[in-house]
Amino acid sequence: MRLIALVLGVATTLVSTIAGADNLSVAEVGSFHVGGRAVSLTGLPTRDVVFTAGSQPIKVDPNGDFEVEQMYVQYIKLAQPKARYPLLLWHGGGLTGVTWETKPDGKPGWQLFFLRAGHDVYVSDAVERGRASWARYPEIFSGEPLFRTKKQAWEDFRIGAVGSYKLSAADRVALPGQLFPTEAFDQFFKQGVPRWASTDTQIQAAYHQLVQKVCPCVIIVHSQGGNFGFNAALTAPDKVKGLIAIEPSGAPKPEAAGGGKLKAVPHLVVWGDYIAQSPLWTRFVPASQAYAAALRAEGGVADWWELPKMGVTGNGHMLMMDRNSDQIAQMIQKWMGEKGLMR
């Protein structure tokens, strides 16, 4: 029996070396584009464009056949997932799926946290962001791209109070107790991408197609993604098995929850700190508050977490990047278990 114990010991060591506590056994890594449409531009004039001062102009012909308004999705599937359904992570405005990856300070983000917790994880870029690509404007997209400034992000994301942003990192004063890694704020800003104010319909359409392609699933949405996620659940209540909205910037009208069609789809809304100090978020919160109340009135589950009231303080809008991001992820993981979303 000592020999058997020895052999078992060797085998155990082998197992833990190959698939140790920190290692993931991954069945597949992959990606795809979904949604969108073919479009042809014709009859537009060609133009001469000078790309480098002093060089010959290049003739630019905007006409031709294109694919537009698709979104990009990347997945990592585990050999032995512990979650019942894949977990989809939908980012907010002016950002991409990078929101969920390694944090700006180099520490692991929620993608890796939820992989380690046993979920197949799908990280996506919405229409016009990142690897989803964007289309010529004003011919295809209307309006023009908006570029978020550092001041907007610093203040709107409640890292510092309104008026506290300065060009020099050393001069910026964060809100008291703020847990965003402010030393990595400029690094965070490298993740930003332009956005349009005219593409909500196209973004939502591609999300609907994504849900039809890969769900049943659980979805975590952030900020601008909130409204898209709420609508995805309303449109496919048989496919969306749980929705976690992190600081949603909007929500459907309460009437949309009528008929109790989301009774079987647990919702959770999570808010960080400093809301009362932010005119922007004070204005944004009521929409999802009213929507969550309507879900409950219809017999559904719509939990409402204001983290400071639960003893978790110091989180701004990008709480998945904050120093206590694992703590919040763990709370959400526990909620998913309680809602029967783990095996």
Q: What's the maximum distance between 2 C-alpha atoms anywhere in the chain? A: 85
Site for a second copy in 198-227 (CB under 8 A): 198
Pick between residue 81 and residue 300 the one whose CB is nearest to a second copy: 81
Of 95, 55, 64, 54, nearest to 223 by C-alpha is 95
Pick between residue 283 and residue 309 the one whose CB is nearest to a second copy: 283
How many angstroms separate the Cα of 79 from the Cα of each of 83, 113, 119? 12, 16, 10
Exposed e or buried b per residue across 200-228, where buried means at least 16 C-beta atoms within 10 angstroms of its C-beta: bebbbbbbbebbeebbebbbbbbbbbbbb
Exposed e or buried b per residue across 109-124, where buried means at least 16 C-beta atoms within 10 angstroms of its C-beta: bbbbbbbbbbbbbbbb
Cα gap 23→13, rounded to integer Å: 14
Extract the tokens encoding 284: 């944004």
Extract the tokens encoding 77: 């599937």
Extract the tokens encoding 79: 């050999």
Binding a second copy (rule: CB under 8 A), the pick from 83, 87, 89, 115 is: 115
Extract the tokens encoding 255: 């009437």
Could you say whether residue 152 binds a second copy (CB under 8 A)?
A: yes
- Shortest Å distance, C-beta 341 to a second copy: 22
Per-residue binding string, a second copy, 42-81, x by CB under 8 A, is: -------xxxxx----x-x-xxxxxx--x-x-x-x--xx-
Binding a second copy (rule: CB under 8 A), the pick from 81, 92, 93, 97 is: 97
- Segment interacting with a second copy, rule: CB under 8 A, options 36-44, 175-183, 219-227, 300-308: 36-44
Binding a second copy (rule: CB under 8 A), the pick from 44, 46, 82, 144 is: 144
Residue with tokens 């949604």: 35
Pick between residue 94 and residue 248 the one whose CB is nearest to a second copy: 94
Binding a second copy (rule: CB under 8 A), the pick from 46, 82, 177, 194 is: 194
Pick between residue 36 and residue 272 the one whose CB is nearest to a second copy: 36
- Shortest Å distance, C-beta 166 to a second copy: 9
Site for a second copy in 3-32 (CB under 8 A): 3-4, 7-8, 10-12, 14-15, 17-20, 22-32
Extract the tokens encoding 165: 């942003």
Residue with tokens 């991409």: 96
Cα gap 261→279, rounded to integer Å: 33
DSSP designation for 56:
P
Per-residue binding string, a second copy, 173-192, x by CB under 8 A, is: -------------xx-xxxx
- Shortest Å distance, C-beta 27 to a second copy: 6
Could you say whether residue 249 binds a second copy (CB under 8 A)?
A: no
